[in-house]
Structure 1
Amino acid sequence: MNLPQLFLDTALTASTYFRLSTSQVPTSYEAVMFFGPVVPDGYGVCYNPRESQILFGVSSYNNCPDTEAYKLVGSLESSLCDMQAIMQGNVSAKL
């Protein structure tokens, strides 16, 4: 069977190329879960929201020079700290 023309369309390819794939996996346990990115130059981010914390698992492929999971973790942590400061009314939050 020939591949339908729809699957050869560049718009479909572009609209389904997810560099950031996320999923919430809520559990009552203090557990960090991971899954891999869905594209070679992407990230996989799994998060477990809990009452007083959010646990994150961040992954990327080692062989991609454009992705470094530890840098995304640093940006995520910084962003969450900024949001916390704003929510607590700390106007000196560095934005």
Structure 2
Amino acid sequence: MTTKKITKEEEMKLPVFNSHLDAVNHFKKKFGEDFVLKSQGEKNGEKIYIYVLLLDREAFKTGQEKLARFEMVPPEFTNSFQSIEIKENGDFRIAH
């Protein structure tokens, strides 16, 4: 089964999450191994987690390998994932 991007309409229907863990559990249940933690950090003193929703695993893997070697990435790389930023309090932002 191929994972599809989360649309703005689908995003509007998502529940309100009370914590980072609530949000992660929801996305993991829905997308399984296609929902992957990419990085974490702080913004304005608040912990932020950046996840990627893998839409095309092979194109994503190839793009990541090329980035690591400072090579040009194929155009397919840009469409191989969707970024999801989740704050510690459960607020989230999905890149469209």
Q: What TM-score do you get using the length of structure 2 for normalisation?
A: 0.23
Larger radius of gyration: 1
Higher helix share: 2
Higher strand share: 2
Q: What TM-score do you get using the length of structure 1 for normalisation?
A: 0.23
Greater relative CO (CA pairs within 8 A, separation 6+) = 2
